[in-house]
C-alpha cells in the first residue's frame, strides 16, 4: 500500500510548493507584529485544510460553483499582497485589535501554508499517486512546517536585523514572482476552460 518512492516524490513536490523556508521572513514579521504565533493552531488548521482538500477538493469548490483556476487566482492575489508588504515595508494585513491571534489562521495557515498552490497541487497529486502516499507526504510536510514555526524566534536571532531585512526583500520578490506565475497560469487555463 505504501510506496517509499511515491512518498518521497509527493513530499518533495509539496515541500517546494508550500515553501515554508521561503516563508520564514513573513513568519518572523507576523511574530513581531502579533507578539506570538500559535504554531500548533496554524499547523492543525493548515493540515485540516490540506487533508479536506485532498479528499474533497473538487467537490468543495463545485459546491460553491467555483473552479480550481478561480481559487488559485484568489490565492495568487493574497500572495501578491504579502509580497508587496515585504518589499515595500507597508502593512496591508492589519493586526487584530482584539488581541486574538487570528493571524495564525489568515494569512499563515491559509494561504501561506495551505494556499491555492498547495490545494491545486493536492488535486493533481491525487490523480497521479496513491491517496495513502499523498497523505503521508502531507503529514511529513506538516511536521516540517511545525518545526519552522516553533523555531522562528531562534531563526530571527541567528539572522539578525540586517539579515532579516535582506531575506525579507529577496523572499518578497520570490513571493511576487510565484504569485504572478500562479495568476498567469490559471488565467490562461481559465480562458481555455471558460
How many other β-carbons are positioned within 10 Å of the β-carbon of residue 19? 19
| pLDDT at residue number 183 | 85
- Contact (CB, 8 A) for 130 and 1: yes
What does the alpha-carbon distance between residue 141 and residue 145 come to, in Å, rounded to a whole number? 6
Q: Collapsing DSSP states into helix, strand and coil, what is residue 118?
A: helix
pLDDT tens sequence across 65-118:
888 778 778 777 877 887 888 888 887 766 555 545 566 787 788 878 998 778
Between 3 and 91, the more confident residue is 3
- Contact (CB, 8 A) for 21 and 155: no
pLDDT tens sequence across 25-48:
788 878 887 778 889 999 999 999
Between 157 and 52, the more confident residue is 52
Q: How far are the Cα atoms of 45, 56, 94, 185 from residue 106, in angstroms, in the given order?
A: 10, 21, 11, 24
Q: Which three cell numbers, joined as nine digits, stand for 72? A: 488559485
Q: What is the mean pLDDT of the chain?
A: 83
pLDDT tens sequence across 162-192:
887 887 788 788 878 878 887 888 888 777 6
CA dihedral 86, 12, 107, 55 (to 10 degrees): 160
| CA-wise closest residue to 18 among 127, 166, 178, 173 | 178
Amino acid at each position: 500500500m505504501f510506496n517509499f518512492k511515491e512518498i518521497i516524490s509527493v513530499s518533495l513536490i509539496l515541500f517546494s510548493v508550500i515553501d515554508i523556508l521561503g516563508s520564514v521572513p513573513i513568519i518572523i514579521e507576523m511574530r513581531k507584529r502579533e507578539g506570538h504565533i500559535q504554531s500548533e493552531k496554524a499547523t492543525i488548521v493548515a493540515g485540516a485544510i490540506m487533508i479536506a482538500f485532498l479528499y474533497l477538493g473538487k467537490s468543495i469548490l463545485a459546491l460553491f460553483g467555483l473552479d480550481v483556476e478561480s481559487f488559485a487566482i484568489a490565492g495568487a492575489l493574497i500572495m501578491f499582497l504579502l509580497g508587496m508588504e515585504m518589499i515595500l515595508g507597508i502593512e496591508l494585513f492589519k493586526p487584530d485589535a482584539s488581541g486574538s491571534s487570528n493571524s495564525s489562521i489568515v494569512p499563515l495557515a491559509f494561504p501561506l501554508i495551505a494556499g491555492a498552490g498547495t490545494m491545486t497541487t493536492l488535486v493533481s497529486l491525487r490523480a497521479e499517486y496513491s491517496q495513502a502516499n499523498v497523505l503521508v507526504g502531507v503529514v511529513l510536510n506538516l511536521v516540517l512546517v511545525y518545526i519552522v514555526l516553533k523555531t522562528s524566534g531562534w531563526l530571527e536571532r541567528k539572522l539578525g536585523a540586517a539579515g532579516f531585512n535582506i531575506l525579507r526583500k529577496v523572499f518578497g520578490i520570490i513571493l511576487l514572482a510565484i504569485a504572478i506565475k500562479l495568476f498567469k497560469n490559471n488565467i490562461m487555463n481559465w480562458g481555455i476552460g471558460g
